[in-house]
Amino acid sequence: MDELGRAKKEWEAQCVAPVLARYPERQESFATLSGIPIERVYTPADVAVDYAEQLGFPGEYPFTRGVQPTMYRGRLWTMRQYAGYATAEESNARYRYLLEQGQTGLSVAFDLPTQIGYDADDPLAEGEVGKVGVSISSLDDVRTLFAGIPLDRVSTSMTINAPAAILLAMYVAVGKEQGVAPGKLRGTVQNDILKEYVARGTYIFAPRPSMRLVTDLFRYCTAEVPRWNTISISGYHIREAGATAVQEVAFTLANGIAYVAAALQAGLDIDVFAPRLSFFFNAHNDFLEEIAKFRAARRLWARIMRDRFGAQDPRSWSLRFHTQTAGCTLTAQQPENNVVRVTLQALAAVLGGTQSLHTNSRDEALWLPTEESVRIALRTQQVIAHESGVANTVDPLAGSYLIEHLTGEVERQARSYLAKIDDLGGALAAIEGGYVQQEIADSAYRYQQEVERKERTIVGVNEYQVGEKIELERLVVNPAIEAQQRGRLAALRSRRDGERVSAILSRIEAAARAEDEPLMPLFVAAAEADCTLGEICRALRGVWGEYRSQASI
């Protein structure tokens, strides 16, 4: 390696220096979006990696090269397009369309009232029903949402956090109605409340009772729904809020550490619950850094689970993740450029070894995506899968000097963040003190300044602009659905057994007051009794209150 290092210096002196003397502007420095410096060229001397220890083989510790030995040669990633808007009927039609087009898993988007535990007829829901996702208030809505979709044959992901346990309870109840036992259900609830406090804001309760709901869901699924991924620990929203790739890895894994610690404190066996943990990452624009990010996250998590927590089952060391292309990179200007951005981001996710993928639609910076735009987004995945050849071998960029250097550097810098968070008392304390929020805000500000100063080019936004008139078809949510949903809820309340509803809500309130009382079985019973989402959340609010952030950023 010393000989290679000397050879590189000779090459720079003999070949590069004369060019730079003639063209001094080529001496500018380059760095990734995380600020990792990028050299002009890399050789083995630049890669501080023990290939046997750091890389290994796919499906083996430390999983740098992937979580399965055969990866996409055995089975392609799940193509899971995120969808949901307006009513359960309209969203059901979109799901059926996507399945007909070759999608292999469902991903449900809920509207804002649902995400924060309000029924569609609540005054606080006014003007928001069905706008950014599907409106779900009751078991009847969930029944309609999945009508004609066999839950024993489709894997379903639900992007829901604060009321995740309640939505899963409704899903379990609908499965029973279809004749599908809970043990046969497959899918994921996001159930990642910690990132809500730092990046997204759809929390209801304070962090500590919220963590109780998370671990309660872990316990229930371990016994009743063993094929269900009990959490999707999300770096996606952290990145969308302005974090760098390094921060995305560090803060996501710090939250993962907090969930594992909470589950252990609740008396759960690490090698029982850990194999069902999953993660959710962003695929951003810096193509090579993103590939390295996914590889570094796998390696770092494997070491955390084995060395820090002492997990024995190799499945507990394995970081499985879903990826979504970066919504924050989509531009309203020249929306056709978004197809190119999404293609590169999706390719990075595949080369990085994702287990499932959502590709954003070209028009999402403007409005809800149309069927045509969704089809293009899905076809992007299908072209990568079937025409590009990148799925034919596992971890095809392994051994690239730059990729291995970036993988190591992302891991090193993420470790530094994790050490700082440990010093602060862990992720929960770091969030409550505002540290994580401040780091993300500072990063977002720096990035926006670079764009404003044109130090970073965004095609069609601060360079290469054109005068244009957007002529894409637009999908509009009918405002009449709000009244429609109120009517459905009124009909539900008039026909259900009111005494049964009151009794189960009282039991939920009592269980919430008792710190060690399981809640998930009561949520399932409440769903089957036609208690609404808002009523169940109101019972919990009566005990735990609502959280108001005290952190100042």
Query: At residue 553, does pLDDT exceed 50?
Result: no
* Token code pair at residue 16: 């590069």
In this structure, what CATH number is given to the domain that contains residue 159? 3.20.20.240
Residue 120 sits in the same domain as residue 29 = no
**What pLDDT sits at residue 25?**
74
Residue scoring higher pLDDT (198 or 473): 198
The Cα–Cα gap between 370 and 170 comes to 28
Average pLDDT for residues 347-355, to the nearest whole number? Answer: 98
Report the run of H or E that residue 42 belongs to, with start and end.
Answer: none
* Token code pair at residue 50: 């023990």
In a domain? residue 482: no
- For 310-336, give the DSSP string: ---SHHHH---EEEEE-GGG--SSSTT
Residue scoring higher pLDDT (353 or 40): 353
**What pLDDT sits at residue 50?**
66
In a domain? residue 347: no
Q: What pTM value is reported for the model?
A: 0.94
- For 127-158, give the DSSP string: TTTTSSSB---SHHHHHHHTTT--TTT--EEE
Residue 195 sits in the same domain as residue 283 = yes
Could you tell me which residues are beta bridge partners of residue 158? 108, 189
In a domain? residue 311: yes
Residue 161 sits in the same domain as residue 247 = yes
**What pLDDT sits at residue 550?**
63
In a domain? residue 339: no
Residue scoring higher pLDDT (473 or 375): 375
Average pLDDT for residues 93-105, to the nearest whole number? Answer: 92
Average pLDDT for residues 231-235, to the nearest whole number? Answer: 96
Q: Which segments of 356-398 are extended strands (E)? A: 356-358
Average pLDDT for residues 469-485, to the nearest whole number? Answer: 86
Residue 35 sits in the same domain as residue 154 = no
CB proximity list for 67: less than 8 A, separation 6 or greater: 58, 59, 298, 318, 319, 320, 353, 355
Name which of 91, 133, 155 is nearest 355 in CA terms.
Answer: 155
At 478, the pLDDT band (50, 70, 90 cuts) reads confident
Boundary residue ending a domain (409, 433, 452): 452
In a domain? residue 509: no
In a domain? residue 472: no
Q: Could you tell me the residue range of the domain that residue 14 belongs to?
A: 2-46
For the ranges 2-11, 72-81, 234-243, 517-526, the lowest mean pLDDT is seen at: 2-11
In a domain? residue 485: no
- Looking at the structure of the chain, the number of domains it has is 2
In a domain? residue 502: no
Residue 21 sits in the same domain as residue 135 = no
